[in-house]
Homo-oligomer: A and B are copies of this chain.
Amino acid sequence: MKLYDCATAPSPRRVRIFLAEKNIAIETIQVDLRNGEQFTPAFRAVNPDCTVPVLELDDGTRITDAIGICIYFEAMQPDPPLMGGDAKSKALIAAAQRRAERDGFYAVMEALRNFTPGLKGHAVPGPDAYEQIPELAARGRARVQRFFERMDAELADRAFVCGERFSIADITTLVSIDFAKWIKLPMPESCMHLRRWHELVSSRPGAKA
């Protein structure tokens, strides 16, 4: 089993933190996204979507999605649970993870990809060329600001993003906030609860992954 990874990229970092929290070590293969290795014929043969992470199982099966990969490891090694225990907690954690992804992670990506000169023609991840839309970069930044404010309000009386323990919803939120540094959007000073939570989860050993 091996993980196609890029040590500097936020999307595979979600998987790296997930694995670190479960204390699972696997072989990784670094894909040089900065120099366009994801668009080479060799990597297209691994994942035609030209994205990482990709988990390759020993039977050759490839899982080409960060959350799909987390679901695989949660099923193979349930302890510690990062995606909930009973039906209700599974549902609530999935919903919280998806909301952080949509309002946080994708909003940062929208802002970054529609603005950065080096990503011209790559405004959407994947093999197809889409031009940048400057108004969309601005909208992405506005959405990230709202994400900070809302998460701050929600974390006022909570230790973690969803429920009583650390979960994949915390991982997506943490990675989104750190990803926002790429677009020079730090958490506002006024977001005290969010900053407290960020310091706490960043101190976990897995956060270094």
Contacts and interface: CB of A to CB of B under 8 A. Distances in A.
Interface residues of A, number: 36
A139 B135 contact: no
A94 B71 contact: yes
Contact of A92 (B68, B86, B123): B68
A16 interface: no
A71 B142 CA distance: 31
| Copies of this chain, whole number | 2
A200 interface: no
A95 B63 contact: yes
A79 interface: no
A130 B135 contact: no
B87 A68 contact: no
Nearest to A93: B68
A139 B135 CA distance: 13
Interface of A: 49, 55, 57, 61, 63-65, 67-69, 71-73, 75-76, 86-88, 90-92, 94-95, 98-99, 123-124, 128, 130, 133, 135-136, 139, 142-143, 146
